[in-house]
Every structure is written in C-alpha cells, then in structure tokens.
Amino acid sequence: MIRTISAGLKQGVLKRYISSNVGLAPTIKEQLSNPPAIGSVFEVRGFVKSIRNSKNVGFLDITDGSSSKIINVVLVGKGQPRFQVGESVRVKGEWNVSKGKGQENELKYNPQDPNHAYEIIGAVPEDYPLQKKATSMSFLRTLPSLKHRASTIASFYRLRSFLETQMMDFFNNYSFTKVSPPLITSSDCEGAGETFEIKSAQEFFEKNAYLTVSTQLHLEAVSLALNRAWTLTPCFRAEESKTSRHLSEFWMLEAEISYLDELEPLLNFTEEMVKYATKQLVSRKNEYLEGTYLDREVIESRWSSILGDWRRITYNEALDELNSKGASLTFGDSLNLDHERSLAENGPVFVTDYPASMKPFYMLKSTNYDKDKPTVACFDLLLPQFGELVGGSLREHDYDTLVESMKKNNMNLDDMDWYISLRKYGTIPHGGFGMGWERFVTYLSGHDNIRDLVPFPRAPGLCKA
C-alpha cells in the first residue's frame, strides 16, 4: 500500500507519510527536513538544551538527538511556564519565520492561545549535571548514563551509524554477503592467549569456550562457500591495556575474499573501502560537523589525508626508513606506535611482508620468501598521528603447510579440525582483513580517545554500567 500511494512522492514527503502511517512521533531531524507551512500549529518533543530569558520573551532550545540541529521555542505572553535544562518536554505552538540569527524558523508558544500547549514529560532536579556551559570529556566519562545527551558524544553515534550504512553499500557493490559468525568460540584466532574464558563452558559445551577475539576463522569457512563475505561484530580481548586506543569489548569489521593469490588486490580493495566511506562523509560534512565542539581543522585534515596518496612499503623498507631517522631496529623487531606514526607522517601507508615469527599461524608465505629472513604476505595500514587501523593477509590454503605451521605453534589439531578441513575439501586461495571499527570512527571524528566513541566502554577496571 505504501509503495503504491507514495510512488510519485518526493523523498521527504515519503518519509513524513511513512512515519505518520505507523504512528511514530516525528523526530526533530524529520521536522526540520520537512517543515510545516508558516503559521500552522506545530509540536516538538525533546530535551531542553538551553534557556535564555529577556524582559518580555524567553527562548528554549529543544533537541532530541536525531540531529545536531535544534528547534528554537520562543515564549511570549504572560503566565509562562518554568522550564529547566535537561527536562523532556512537549511544546505545541505556531511555526514562524525566525527573527533571530542562526535559525530559519522557530516555534512560538503563547499560553494565552487555546491552540498552544506544553507538557513536562520528565522533570529533572536542580543539580542536573549537563548544563549549557562547556563540559569536558573527562567529566562526561563520569556520567555513563547521561553522557549520550552531550552534543559531541551524540555526534559520534550519528557518525558511526552513517558509516555503517556506507559500508553496507560498499560491500553490496562488490557482491559480498554480510554474515554473522559466532561470538562464542573454542579457538583463539590470534594465538595470543588474551581471551575471556566462559566459566560454565566445560559443563555446558563439554569443552572450553571463549568470547571471540576475531571472527576470522569462522568467516573464512563461510566466505569459501559464498565467495566473498564480511561482518561487523563485537570482539573481546583480555588485554591489560589502559590506553586511549584499546577496549576490551570492541567491534571489528572483517572481510574474506576467495580466489585471491596476490596481496596487491587486497591492498587495493582495502584502500578503496576506506576512501569510499570517507568520500561519502565529506559529501555530507556539514551535517556531521555540526554539533561537535572538536577541532574542525583536525577533522578535515584527517579526511584530506585519507583521500590523498597512499604509500606501500615492505617491513624491511620500513626498518631502513626508521633507522635512517635514528632508530636502531633489526629484522624481527616490532614497530611501536612512535614508529608507526613516523612512517605515516605524510599520509597513510601500507607496511607489508612482516617476519613470520611476528604473525599468526594462518598466514601465507610472502611471494619473495627468504628462508634466512622468512616473511608472510600480510599488511598493516597505518594512519597519520594515529597508527594501525587495518591488518590483513593472504591465508595459507595448502593443507600440509597449514598443519605444519600449527604444529610449530603447539596448537591442538583435534580442536581445529573443523578449520583445517577447509584445506582438504576443495581449498581456495583467499585472503582478508580486520579493521577496528571504533578506531575508524574515532579517526574520522577528529577525536583521540576511543572510549568516547562507545556508549558503555569496557576496559581493564572499567565496567560502570
């Protein structure tokens, strides 16, 4: 029915028709996108963000989080109600052209007009902590249930939501299938031992089980059947890190691609994915820059960096470059955050072909494999001022070679038989990557603390709600 009636309607009108058809109260985003006629009776619902009073008139800024924009309510006439910042309210009045600066239209409320009305839906005490004055991020972190109402925090969530929709479009354009691998697993994908063990697993599953640190192994199994598969799911790491770049519960975007026997196409695809989402964001920058009090120059600099030229160097070339700047690194040494930032000083950079000893068991040997300095066909994507964003590799698809690698890593082959069998029954050359989702959103938001991008962050010593 909706499809038939609305076939000739403009998109904005269609949105309004569908909302009213299912009985939902319109959001402020919808109301400002499709405002009513000037002079008509209009109702807004939301939180009181700020209050201003003059001799004969008062002003309320109403927000509901659906947009960075507000609806300004002008209070005129005698007998005005008393409002407080933070209250949830409903105000009905007359929609007018705004006489002030910064707002195109405003809602005029006059208690003497029988068609006007108001309701305080949810009152707040006098000490409501989120007032009009500037609020620091450190203070907001002490308010796990209320911080979401702050303008900048809300802008993070809207940005994250937007980027998820863009990733869905991107992967659909490349014939991927989105799947949902399990979060409970019997294997440690990375082999680092930083897993959360499920206490009742032995009794319930009759074997040890853990919260997944990566869905990669299960995603490989699905992708070999579907050709290309991706997921965006929670992952968990019991890593004793309290930095602003780490979480114990985070989301990972992971993808696996079949019939891939060279690293170059995987790099190309990863670069295109990151640039695509960023381009879509830039095309709507006014919408996603409004409402944040972060440094816009930093934000736009990061966007420009992503959309610029990217370098590609090997691990050995990275060592040479860093040593020329005063480092003292030898083959097999890890690259720390300062090293990563130095390499990405002038723009994003792929570092490929790391030593095999530094990487998990499942990675394929490099094309130019050297027995004296063995490397694997893998990469890390490093961003300016930020460090690693994406890690990926080609996967070992030969049965005997994979088994040998697992034995060298002292892995239980019986527990991993389901995974090993993929190489026995119609194996396929393939590869993939994982991208820390909060890191991506943090970088594009111009922020630096990953914990502020999550409604209820989980980290060592941090589980407040």
Q: What is the mean pLDDT of residues 231-247?
A: 89
Instruction: Return all residues near 233 (Cβ < 8 A) that are at least 6 apart.
Output: 180, 181, 183, 215, 251, 252, 254
Average per-residue pLDDT for the chain: 90
Check whether 289 has a pLDDT greater than 90. no
pLDDT of residue 100: 73
Yes or no: say if 189 and 212 are a contact pair by the CB < 8 Å rule: yes
Q: What is the mean pLDDT of residues 252-278?
A: 97
Name the residue with higher pLDDT: 244 or 130: 130
Which whole-number Å values give the CA distances from 171 to 47, 50, 121, 176, 277, in the listed order? Answer: 37, 42, 42, 5, 11
Check whether 133 has a pLDDT greater than 80. no
Q: What is the mean pLDDT of residues 209-232?
A: 96
pLDDT of residue 464: 82
Q: pLDDT tens, 363-377?
A: 999 999 999 999 999
Q: Where are the alpha helices (DSSP H) in 283-392?
A: 285-289, 296-307, 315-324, 337-343
Q: What is the mean pLDDT of residues 141-160?
A: 92
pLDDT of residue 1: 34
If residue 138 lies in a helix (H) or strand (E), which one and from where to where? helix 137-140
Percent of the chain at pLDDT > 70 equals: 93
Distance CA 465, CA 461 (A): 12
pLDDT of residue 394: 98
Strands lying side by side in the sheet with 196-197: 184-185, 210-211, 196-197
Which parts of 247-377 are beta strand (E)?
A: 249-258, 311-314, 349-352
Check whether 313 has a pLDDT greater than 60. yes
> Which residues are registered as beta bridge partners of 118?
91
Place of tokens 């579907």: 226
What does 156-196 look like in DSSP terms, one character per residue?
HHHHHHHHHHHHHHHHHHTT-EE----SEESS-SS-S---E
Check whether 307 has a pLDDT greater than 50. yes
Q: Which amino acid is at 397?
A: H
**pTM of the complete model:** 0.90
Check whether 257 has a pLDDT greater than 80. yes
- Let me know the angle formed at the C-alpha of 427 by 171 and 422, rounded to the nearest 5 degrees: 85
Confidence of residue 341 (pLDDT cuts 50, 70, 90): very high
Q: pLDDT tens, 215-224?
A: 999 999 999 9
Question: Quick one: tokens of 382?
Answer: 């490093």
113 burial level (CB within 10 Å; 0-12, 13-18, 19+): middle
Number of alpha carbons in the 13 Å side-chain half-sphere of residue 21: 11
Confidence of residue 103 (pLDDT cuts 50, 70, 90): confident
Check whether 263 has a pLDDT greater than 50. yes
